[in-house]
Structure 1
Amino acid sequence: MTAILDIDLLRTFHAVARIGKFSAAAEQLHKSPAAVSVHIQRLEAVAGGRLLNRDNQSVSLTALGKRLLQSTTALLSTHDRVLADLHGSHLAGRITLGVPDEYAGHVIRDILPTFIAAWPNVVLELKTAPSYALRDLVQRDKLHCAVIAQPKGQLDEHTQLLVATTPVWVGPINNNLAALEPLPLAVHAAQCPYRQAMIESLKHDGRRARVVLESPSNQAVKACVEAGLAISLIDRAMVTAHMQILDGLPLIADHDVVFMRSTASRDDEAVNLLAEAMQQYFRL
């Protein structure tokens, strides 16, 4: 009998790969951890090998898992677009969406085109700003929804987990700026959780620092680090080949990237569909 790729199994696999933990993926999918494990086992039987390396803390993709993730992303997108075309292309509305600069490229390039193709009568308006500024706008009903980063453990009825992140200190390759006193920093704009984590952790450790760059642009912060001018704090998944992860600096707790919606848009169908698209396709 010819093997068949089950869409539900693939969706579970993508959630685990994106989030990196079975328990958090199960919570997002509204399934039990045991059900998620069964889905992965069934998909591994179809794929012909192990898709995930697992330990007590997290999971990572095997080579086969990376191939499957890459080759099925478009498949899931096409599947959802076809269903939308069959059952819901009449949906219309307007969504104001906020996205921090560091995630804007991914959201704009990899998620929104598929959503717009599926729901052509939904008008999207985007705003980029630091996470806490966007959070304030959503809480005041100035935005329908936003993607924001926040310290782990702050999920509530207004937020849905997209992916967990591990912030790391980074500096330029072959340049030990972490030994300098005071530390040269490239910091994100005010109301960014990473800026707050950087400053508070260094203050707690009694390390002196000076700000070389303050910018709302994630690309400017990265460029400053790569040029050897400063160190900074970024998501581990965003470390480039021109950076090195630094030891000897304060450990920063994991953060969550979440989809947050305003009270006024809680029952908005278009926002609900955008939330689903974000959960399915958001990854670092």
Structure 2
Amino acid sequence: MAAILDIELIRTFHAVARIGKFSAAAQELHKSPAAVSVHIQRLEAVAGGRLLDRDNQAVSLTALGKRLLVSTTELLTTHDRVLADLHGTRLAGRITLGVPDEYADHVIRDIVPTFTAAWPNVILELKTAPSYALREQVQRGKLQAAVLTQPKELRNAEVEFLVTTTPVWVAALHATANLTEPLALAVHAAQCPYRQVMLQALRQSGRKVRIVLESPSNQAVKACVEAGLAISLIDRGRVTDNMRILDELPVIPDHDVVFMRSQASRDDETVDLLGQAIQQRFRL
């Protein structure tokens, strides 16, 4: 009998590959860790080899796992699009979604077009703002949902985990970073978690600073760093070829990128579908 790829097994595999931990993937999928392990074992039997290398901290993809991840990404997207096409016209509504500036391009380019094509009668409105401002607006019901960054210790049942991000200090690639005091900084606007954690870490280490740039624009902060005018704190995955990572400054703990919905949207099917689309396609 020919082997068959079960779409549920593939979805479980993608969740584990994206998150890097069985327990966190199980939580996202609303399954037990044991069920997730069984899904992976069944998929490995079909694939003909081990898909994941595991240790006490996390999991990583084997060569076979990387091949399967790439080859099934479009399959999973197509499967969900077919279901959406069958039922999309039955669903209508309006969603106000908040997104931090640094992730807006990814959400607008890679997630929104697919979602709006699948659900043509759902109107999606976007607003960009710093993460803590978005969190406040969701809590007050001004936004139905938001993607936002926050320290890991704030993770709770009110949010849905997307990915982990590692903040790193950066300077211009070809400029000698001047780490004498006061440190020249490019900082994000107030209510940005990176702004708060970077200033707090430097104060606790006894360093004096001067702010060269304060901006809500992630592109402006990057440009200031690449020009050699200041140093800043950004996601490790967003370090450009014109930057270098600084190891001399205080280590900043990892943060979570999460999906948060308002209390009134807990049982909203349109927000459920948007959350699923973001979870499946969000990346750093």
Question: Residue 260 of structure 1 aligns with which residue?
Answer: 260
In 1: Cα distance, 2:233 partner to 2:62 partner? 27
Question: For residue 199 of structure 2, what is the aligned residue in structure 1?
Answer: 199
Identity across the alignment (%): 76
Q: Do the aligned partners of residues 174 and 156 (structure 1) sit closer, same or farther apart at CA in structure 2, a change above 3 Å counting?
A: same
Alpha carbons of structure 1 residues 105 and 68: separation in structure 2 relative to 1, 3 Å:
farther
Greater shift, 46-55 or 14-23, is seen at 46-55
Q: How does 1:170-209 map to 2 (within 5 A)?
A: 170-177=170-177, 179-209=179-209
Secondary structure at the counterpart of residue 273 of structure 1: helix
User: Greater CA deviation, 2-11 or 269-278?
Assistant: 2-11
1:131 aligns with 2:105: no
Structure 1 residue 145 corresponds to structure 2 residue 140: no
Cα 1:170/1:50, change in 2 over 3 Å? farther
Q: Structure 1's 54 and 225: CA in aligned 2 closer, same or farther, altered over 3 A?
A: farther
Match in the other structure for 2:216:
216
Q: Tell me the amino acid that sits aligned with residue 126 of structure 1.
A: L
1:178 Cα deviation after fit: 5.8
CA contact (8 A) 1:194 1:233 kept: yes
Whole-angstrom CA distance in 2 between matches of 1:76 and 1:102 = 26
Go from structure 1 to structure 2 and tell me whether the alpha carbon gap of 1:245 and 1:54 turns closer, same or farther (over 3 Å shift): farther
Correspondence list, 1:202-281, <5 A: 202-281=202-281
Conserved? CA contact 1:18–1:282, under 8 Å: no
CA distance in 1, matches of 2:157, 2:22: 21
Classify 1:79/1:55 alpha carbon distance in 2 versus 1 (closer, same or farther; 3 Å).
same
2: CA distance between counterparts of 1:67 and 1:265? 38
Q: Distance in 2 between matches of 1:206 and 1:274?
A: 44
**Residues 1:262 and 1:109: Cα distance change in structure 2 (over 3 Å):** same
- Mapped partners of 2:53, 2:221: distance in 1: 33
> Partner of 2:105 in structure 1?
105
1:83-102 Cα shifts (integer Å, max 9, x gaps) = 12223431000000000011
- 2:26–2:32 CA contact under 8 A, matched in 1: yes
Any conservation in 2 of the 1:173–1:226 contact (CA below 8 Å)? yes
Mapped contact 1:184–1:210 kept (Cα < 8 A): yes
Task: Assess if the C-alpha contact under 8 Å between 2:213 and 2:221 holds in 1.
Answer: yes
Matched to 2:151, the amino acid is: P
Quick one: structure 1 residues 167 and 60, their matched pair in 2 at CA, closer, same or farther if it must change by over 3 Å? farther
The change in CA–CA distance for 1:259 and 1:81 in structure 2 (over 3 A counts) is same
How large is the Cα RMSD of the aligned pairs?
A: 1.8
Count of matched residue positions in the alignment of Structure 1 and Structure 2: 284
State the match for 1:23 in structure 2: 23
- On the 8 A contact 2:88/2:120 being kept in 1, the answer is no
Aligned to 1:153, the other structure's residue is in SS state: helix
| CA–CA separation in structure 2 for the residues paired with 1:101 and 1:270 | 23
Cα 1:166–1:126, aligned 2, differ >3 Å: closer, same or farther?
A: same
Q: Which runs of 5+ in 2 are unaligned?
A: none
Contact 2:16 2:25 in 1 (8 A): yes
Instruction: Rate the CA distance shift 1:232–1:7 in 2: closer, same or farther, 3 A.
Output: same
CA distance in 2: counterparts of 1:51 and 1:257, whole angstroms = 26
Is the CA contact (8 Å cut-off) linking 1:172 and 1:244 kept in structure 2? yes
Distance 1:173 1:279, change over 3 A: same
**CA separation of 1:41 and 1:229: change in aligned 2, threshold 3 A:** farther
Deviation at 1:241, TM superposition (A): 2.2
2: CA distance, partners of 1:87 / 1:187: 45
Alignment partner of 1:120 is 2:108 = no
Provide the secondary structure at the position in 2 that maps to 1:177.
coil
Q: Deviations over 1:138-182 (max 9, x none)?
A: 111111111111111223343111112111112222444163322
Alpha-carbon distance in structure 1 between the residues aligned to 2:20 and 2:147: 19
Counterpart of 1:252 in 2: which secondary structure?
coil
Say whether the 8 Å CA contact 2:88–2:121 is kept in structure 1.
no
What TM-score, normalized to structure 2? 0.93
TM-score by length of 1: 0.93
CA 1:133–1:186 in structure 2 vs 1: closer, same or farther (change >3 Å)? same
1:233 deviates by 1.1
The structure-2 alpha-carbon separation of the partners of 1:169 and 1:92, relative to structure 1 and needing over 3 Å to count, comes to same
Provide structure 1 residue ranges, at least 5 long, that are not aligned to the other structure.
none
